[in-house]
Amino acid sequence: MQYSKEVLDHFTHPRNQGKIKNASSVAIVGNPRCGDIIRVYIKVGKNKKGEEIIQKTGFETLGCGAAIATSSMMTEMAKGKTLEEALKITNQNVVKKLGGLPSSKLHCSNLAADALRKAIKKYKDEKEKNKKVN
């Protein structure tokens, strides 16, 4: 099983690793088959156009090197994107940016993209719920 230099770089030097204080949303996903668990943090703000964007991302991953690398890459891909743009990040996009993954590790990339989408959905749902209350 051979990893690309991008995978090794993101595994040995993960970007955005750790909690974000006062995160706008936090989501956890896991894979019972392999035991990997990813917690993703997003901080939402507004850009100059007034659109909501992901200003900051963070992750905590308990898993293999591929799970850490895909989490790291996904957070890099999401930063600065509008929520709608970030929702379009797929596991295939993450794998491609990393230069590929062995087929036995592709499930790890699913976790990263799924966690991001879940965090965005939780953020949007909470925002909508707060609108109805006010």
Q: Looking at residue 95, what is its pLDDT?
A: 93
Residue 131 pLDDT > 90: no
pLDDT digits (tens, 9 = 90+) for 45-78: 999 999 999 999 999 999 888 999 999 999 999 9
Cα distance between residue 14 and residue 121, in whole Å: 25
Q: Looking at residue 134, what is its pLDDT?
A: 62
Q: Which of 4, 30, 31, 34 is catalytic?
A: 34
The domains found in the chain, sorted by start residue, are 5-123 (3.90.1010.10)
**β strands within the chain, DSSP E:** 25-30, 37-46, 52-62
pTM: 0.91
Q: Which of 108, 116, 119, 120 is catalytic?
A: 108
Residue 105 pLDDT > 90: no
Catalytic residue status for 64: no
Across residues 21-25, what is the average pLDDT?
A: 96
Residue 38 pLDDT > 80: yes
Across residues 79-98, what is the average pLDDT?
A: 95
Q: Looking at residue 102, what is its pLDDT?
A: 87
Residue 103 pLDDT > 90: no
Task: Assess contact for 119 and 81: CB atoms under 8 A.
Answer: no
Cα distance between residue 100 and residue 85, in whole Å: 22
Q: Looking at residue 1, what is its pLDDT?
A: 62
Across residues 18-25, what is the average pLDDT?
A: 96
CA angle 85, 90, 96 (to 5 degrees): 110
| Residue 49 region by backbone torsions, left for phi larger than 0, else alpha for psi between -120 and 50, else beta | alpha
